[in-house]
C-alpha cells in the first residue's frame, strides 16, 4: 500500500483532517509539519499533533545542513519527531550517524540525476523532488525509473489527484508527497482536495492488486 505524505502542515485542523482521512483508509499517514518546526516556532502545533496523533502518523521535520547530526537527532527526539527529512548536502556518513529516528534523504531530480547515486546511502528512504523543492514543480519521471531498487522511494513535485495514480502505477513508490496539490491557498490544506488525492492513491493500489 502506497503511503501518502501531506507536506507543509501549518495548522492543527489540517493535521487533524489529514490524519482522520488516512485512518479511514486504514493506512499509516506521513505528516510533514511546516519548516518552522525546525526552528522551534512550530512547537505548539507539533505538541498538539504529538499528544493526539503520534500513534497514528509518522511526524516528519525538515532540516537543511544541520551542522551536527547527533545534536539534530537529540532535538528531533526532544520535540516528538519520528523522522527527519534532510534537504541539504548531507553525506552518507552524516545520515548513518542518525539512528534513533528515521532519515528521509531528499534529492533534487534534474537531467544530471542518476538513480545509482542512491546506493551510496545504503538502504534507506529517499524523497525525489523537482529542482525547486516545495514549489509544486514536477520533474521527468523517466529519470527515476528503477530508483526503488535502492531503498524506499517517496515521489514529490507537482502531484495532484489528477496525476498521482499514474505515478503510483508506473513507479511503484513507497510513498507520494503532496503539498500545493491539496491546498486552497499557500499553507492552507483543503479537506476535499486531500480526500480526492488519497482516494486516487487508494484506487491505484487496488487496481494494481487486481492486475497481479
If one counts the domains in the chain, the total is 1
Quickly count: other Cβ atoms within 10 Å of residue 26's Cβ. Answer: 8
Spatial distance between the Cα atoms of 42 and 37, rounded to a whole number of angstroms: 4
How confident is the model over 149-182, as pLDDT tens digits?
999 999 999 999 999 999 999 999 999 999 999 9
pLDDT for 51: 74
Q: Which domain holds residue 140?
A: 3-211
The x, y and z cell numbers of residue 6, run together, are 501531506
- Catalytically active residues are 7, 129
Residues of the chain with pLDDT below 50 are: 26-28, 36, 38
Q: What is the pTM of this model?
A: 0.89
Q: How far is CA 133 from CA 87, 129, 152, 157, 169, in A?
A: 9, 6, 19, 7, 23
| Domain harbouring 82, CATH code | 3.20.20.70
Amino acid at each position: 500500500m502506497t503511503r501518502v505524505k501531506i507536506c507543509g502542515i501549518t495548522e492543527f485542523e489540517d493535521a487533524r483532517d489529514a490524519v482522520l482521512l488516512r485512518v479511514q483508509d486504514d493506512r499509516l499517514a506521513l505528516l510533514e509539519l511546516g519548516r518552522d518546526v525546525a526552528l522551534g516556532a512550530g512547537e505548539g502545533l507539533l505538541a498538539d499533533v504529538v499528544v493526539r496523533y503520534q500513534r497514528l502518523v509518522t511526524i516528519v521535520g525538515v532540516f537543511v545542513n544541520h551542522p551536527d547530526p547527533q545534536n539534530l537527532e537529540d532535538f528531533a527526539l526532544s520535540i516528538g519527531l519520528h523522522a527527519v527529512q534532510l534537504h541539504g548536502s548531507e553525506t552518507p556518513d552524516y545520515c548513518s550517524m542518525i539512528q534513533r529516528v528515521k532519515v528521509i534523504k531528499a534529492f533534487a531530480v534534474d537531467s544530471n540525476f542518476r538513480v545509482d547515486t542512491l546506493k551510496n546511502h545504503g538502504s534507506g528512504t529517499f524523497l525525489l523532488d523537482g529542482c525547486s523543492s516545495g514549489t509544486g514543480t514536477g520533474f521527468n519521471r523517466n529519470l527515476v525509473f528503477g530508483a526503488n531498487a535502492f531503498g524506499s522511494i517517496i515521489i514529490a513535485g507537482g502531484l495532484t489527484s489528477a496525476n498521482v495514480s499514474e505515478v503510483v502505477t508506473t513507479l511503484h513508490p513507497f510513498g507520494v508527497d503532496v503539498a500545493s496539490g491539496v491546498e486552497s491557498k499557500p499553507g492552507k490544506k483543503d479537506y476535499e482536495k486531500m480526500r480526492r488525492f488519497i482516494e486516487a492513491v487508494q484506487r491505484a493500489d487496488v487496481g494494481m492488486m487486481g492486475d497481479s
